[in-house]
A and B are shown apart, each in its own frame.
Chain A
C-alpha cells in the first residue's frame, strides 16, 4: 500500500535548521508521474505549500519561504527531505509530505496522497 511517512525532530531551537524526511513506501520516488511536496499547517491556521521536488532534482519553492528552504531527494533510499533554516516560533507547525501529479501537459497542483504529518515546535 502506497504510504508517505514524515520523520524528524519534534523540537527545534530558534535560529537553527529544521530537518525532516519523508519516506515513500509502496511506490518508487523515481516515478516519472509525480512531484513530491512539503506543506505545513501552523496551529489554528490554514495549510501552506512549502515546495516540491521531482526525482531528477527539479524544484519549485514557495516564494515567501524560498530563501530559507532546501528540498532534496534520495532515490536510493526512496526518500525526500526538507531543510528550513533560521527558524522562529512562526515556523511551529504540523509538517506534511505529499505527492502531486505530473502530466504530459504540465505539473498538476493538487495533492493526491499525503502523510499523516509531524508536529515541529520551535522553542528554546
Chain B
C-alpha cells in the first residue's frame, strides 16, 4: 500500500480539464512544499511534470499545473490532449528519516 493516496483512474474528453488528487499526511504532503508529479507511459522513462508543488520544468506545457491544500496536492491538466493519456504519480518529501514517498498512481484516459 502506497504512502500517498491517488484515485486509480481519471478521465476527460479532449479539450476538457481533469484534476488528479494526492492525499498524504502532515508528515509529508501537508508538512512540506515538496510535492512532485510524474507522467509515465509504459515502457518509457517516467517524466517529471511538476516539482515543488507548482513549478514546471522546462518543456512541460503550461496546461499542466499543480496546487496543494492541507494534506492534499492536486495536478490539473487543462485542454486535454490525446498525448496526455498515461499514468501519473505524485511524490512528496517526507522528512529526514523517510525522505521521499510516492502515490499508487492514477491512470488518465482521454476519451
Contacts and interface: CB of A to CB of B under 8 A. Distances in A.
A and B from one assembly? yes
Given A96-B46, A110-B36, A115-B45, A45 B100 contact: no
Contact of B102 (A48, A108, A114, A116): A48
Interface string B93-111: 1000111111111000000
Contacts of A115: 45
Interface in A39-74: 45-49, 60, 62-63
A109 B101 CA distance: 10
Contacts of A108: 34, 51
B52 A46 contact: no
A111 B48 contact: yes
Nearest to A115: B45
Q: Which applies to chain A's interface (DSSP): helix, strand, loop or mixed?
A: loop
A54 B98 CA distance: 18
B48 A45 contact: no
Interface size class of B (residues with CB under 8 A): 20 to 34
Contacts of A46: 2, 89, 102-105
Interface string B21-39: 0000000000000101010
Given A63-B97, A109-B34, A110-B34, A47 B102 contact: yes
A112 B46 CA distance: 9
Given A109-B34, A109-B91, A116-B45, A49 B100 contact: yes
Given A46-B89, A96-B46, A110 B51 contact: yes
Most buried by A among B51, B57, B103: B51
Nearest to A4: B45
Given A109-B93, A110-B34, A49 B46 contact: no
10 contacts: A45-B2, A47-B89, A47-B105, A49-B99, A49-B101, A96-B45, A110-B48, A111-B38, A111-B46, A116-B44
Interface of A: 4, 45-49, 60, 62-63, 96, 98, 108-117
Interface of B: 2, 34, 36, 38, 43-48, 51-52, 57, 89, 91, 93, 97-105
Given A46-B103, A63-B98, 6 more contacts: A47-B38, A47-B91, A49-B99, A108-B51, A114-B45, A114-B46
